[in-house]
Structure 1
Amino acid sequence: MDLRDHIRGIPDFPKPGILFYDISTLLRHGPAWRAAMARLAGLIGPYRPQLLAGIESRGFLVAAPLALELGLGFIMLRKPRKLPGATIGLDYALEYGSDRIEIQADAVVPGQRVVLLDDLLATGGTMAAGVKLLRQAGAVVPATAAMIELTFLGGRSRLDVPCETLLRYDE
């Protein structure tokens, strides 16, 4: 099954000149969704994760079912003030501005192997910040993964760990 057949390109969203790669068409097609999860499981399995982490919000849609499939726990990297209890946060630069992500302070046992997932790897800023935050929390991050990579934006170069992706778009 070609998963590209289930990814919809939406021009000029969220602003003019941007082509948005919409995974909702894949999510609503059961066999394609199952195939995507099985393929991602095969890609990240060799890294021997003990937990999977997802970046808010579409990363949750990837990491949570994949964690279930692999029999692993799932943790969330969220926007500020969305998690209860003590948190650890990280501010990071975006192409135009800045953002912040947080994790619960007790989400990771020091030395635990955590693979970080998102739906899309674009410029790599959010994924790189997620890796840094997980390390601050005590995790070992052997790899990251995403359903889609926009290779022309060079996000992979901002990561100091391998990044596994299902689909790559070169333009």
Structure 2
Amino acid sequence: MRIAAIRTTGNSRIVYWVAGALLLWLVLPIGMLDILIEPKWFAPNPQCDSLGVPISWLHQALIPWTLLSLVVPAIPVFIIVRKRVAGADIFDLHLGTAPWNWIVTLLTAAALLPIIFDMGRYLWEVSVLQTITGDCGGSAEPVTLTMRRPIIQFTPLWEAGFALWILHLRALILSPRSFKQFAPLPSAEA
């Protein structure tokens, strides 16, 4: 039953907006959490790489990023996806009419390709030993580490959630419009 709720669209634009805003806002804290889990993977050279720089950037960018993450999901949710019928399957490739379906599906695929590539790279880096060299841009002696990426990372989970959100928006854009039935006005003869 819960999988069916994830696979089908809902009818609340507020829920989609809050989910999109939360997903976008989580990019910065999740990236920082991934760095804190294994700092050597992201900053191999202790001479110049420190956690102070990303923490400072996070601190400075959090308020502007919060405002941006509130505005950006509102555009597709409140403008494009309005008055749509709920219950469409997000994996149905036959939603909508033919030319519009292909255009939206190609745009969705273009938005999902970087996510799919990044998740594939994550799986590769977790399973195969990687050689990481940090030389501080040429200003320090190079430090070379051979290690796998840590398996506990939260960015791939975030990417899966963001991909589901994009697929939901695609299904809502292609689903038919809902028309509310208005009661006829009472006539003057009655």
Decide: shared fold, TM above 0.5. Answer: no
TM range (shorter): under 0.3
TM-score of the superposition, structure 1-length normalised? 0.22
Rg (Cα) greater in structure? 2
